[in-house]
Amino acid sequence: MDKTHLVDEITGHRRMRRNRKADWTRRLVQENRLTVDDLIWPIFIVPGTGIVDPIAAMPGVNRMSVDKAVEAVKEAADLGIPAIATFPDIEMALRDETGSNSLVANNLINQATAAFKKAVPNIGIITDVALDPFTSHGHDGILRDGIIVNDETVDQIVRAAVMQADAGADIIAPSEMMDGRIGAIRRGLDAAGHQDVGIMSYATKFSSGFYGPYREAINTSGLLKGDKNSYYISPANGTEAVRDAALDVEEGADMLMVKPGIAYLDICWRIKEAFGLPVFAYQVSGEYTQIKAAAMNGWIDGERVMMETLLCFKRAGCDGILSYFAMDVAKKLAKNG
Ligand code: PBG
């Protein structure tokens, strides 16, 4: 063979492009795939009936009253989405210093859970026990003398978790990053006869600017005093995040979550490698909004970037993704067969 090209000296017989040459070779060597089974759909619930209220900072995402949410959850189940994650936008009048509405058995989140369980029994229901939707200061825990008090908060979220399980929640996902919460919730659930209710720990939740649109969605942005740096992990710290996840594993977490998602793929990989538990990434509100905003300006192909980001979570070791795109992705996957 004529060695007329410089590249021959280096490449020789090693040509990566052979496996990329046709659609069939590319399909054959594809390492990761996104399927509907990988999706968890986060939804926002408001009080009332007949309400579908668009969230300005999250184009395409709505707050829904329970009746409307039931219809949407039915649709999600029909598309094959395995689970939803529910977040309530609690009436301002019901928010207080300690988030006491979290301990009301038929509060908004528990009403929603009970309605979903009844109408759509075959979809998994994941609920959060953080206090931020319920507090007048927007923090995830009880605020006393300027400090988010750990142990008292844990006592309260354990009680809230048991009530959520009583209402029909299948998985409790605590997002408030208090120390010792996983073990305490496990003991609380077991003592109440909820051995089958799982715990998906927000094991590594970072103090992030990407949560902005969510705080608009549940109306906590105007309330929040200060920041959450005394309980969420610094974006600078990867090893600390792995240690934090290790404690949750020891305390009995069934699944681990990394939040936010795309800027934290190294953490997804590290905790998957370290523990082997199911790992989920939360593609949070700000990530969704970035993609939407750029797409709406015609600056990127939104659908393509949506699919690409979710696939990249799989490559980074995630077993699934919480994403506001879940319905769009499920529809797209259904259409493409
Ligand atoms: C707080 C909570 C947050 C999100 C869900 N629950 C973060 C926060 O407000 O600090 C963020 C979700 C998102 O941005 O999509 N417990």
Nearest Cα to Cα of residue 130 among 90, 161, 168, 163:
161
Condensed to tens digits (0 to 9), the pLDDT of residues 100-109 reads 999 999 999 9
According to CATH, what is the number of the domain 37-336? 3.20.20.70
Choose the residue to mutate in 211, 216, 224 for probing ligand 1, maximizing ligand atoms within 8 Å of C-beta.
Answer: 211
pLDDT at 286: 98
DSSP one-letter code for 232: S
Q: Is the peptide bond before 260 cis (omega within 30 degrees of 0)?
A: yes
pLDDT at 87: 97
Residues lining ligand 1, judged by CB closer than 6 Å?
128, 130, 132, 140, 175-176, 211, 214-215, 220, 228, 284-285
In this prediction, residue 2 has a pLDDT band, given cuts at 50, 70 and 90, of: low
Residue nearest to atom 2 of ligand 1 (CA): 175
pLDDT at 139: 97
Query: What is the residue extent of each domain of the chain?
Result: 1-30, 37-336
Condensed to tens digits (0 to 9), the pLDDT of residues 267-285 reads 999 999 999 999 999 999 9
Buried b (16+ CB within 10 A) or exposed e, 217-255: bbbbeebeeeebeebbbeeeebeebbebbebbbebbbbb
Work out the number of other CB atoms within 10 angstroms of the CB of residue 190.
12
pLDDT at 4: 72
| Mean pLDDT across 14-21 | 93
pLDDT at 337: 61
How many whole angstroms separate alpha carbon 328 and alpha carbon 55?
Answer: 17
| Mean pLDDT across 144-159 | 97
Return the higher-pLDDT residue of 1 and 21. 21
Spatial CB neighbours of 239, under 8 Å, sequence gap ≥ 6 = none
| Mean pLDDT across 65-76 | 98
What is the atom index within ligand 1 of the atom nearest the CA of 42? 15
- Backbone angles phi and psi of 52, in degrees to 5: -130, 100
How far, in Å, from the CA of 240 to the mean position of ligand 1? 20
| Mean pLDDT across 41-58 | 97
Q: At residue 252, does pLDDT exceed 60?
A: yes
Distances in whole angstroms, Cα of residue 195 to Cα of each of 172, 186, 254, 285: 12, 8, 12, 32
How many whole angstroms separate alpha carbon 38 and alpha carbon 321?
Answer: 6
Condensed to tens digits (0 to 9), the pLDDT of residues 91-102 reads 999 999 999 999
- Active-site residue, from 68, 259, 272, 314: 259
Nearest Cα to Cα of residue 140 among 47, 202, 64:
202
Condensed to tens digits (0 to 9), the pLDDT of residues 180-236 reads 999 999 999 999 999 999 999 999 999 999 999 999 989 898 899 899 999 999 999
How many whole angstroms separate alpha carbon 57 and alpha carbon 320?
Answer: 25
Percent of the chain with pLDDT over 70: 99
Work out the number of other CB atoms within 10 angstroms of the CB of residue 208.
18
In this prediction, residue 8 has a pLDDT band, given cuts at 50, 70 and 90, of: confident
Residue 74: active-site member: no
What is the atom index within ligand 1 of the atom nearest the CA of 284? 15
| Mean pLDDT across 115-124 | 98
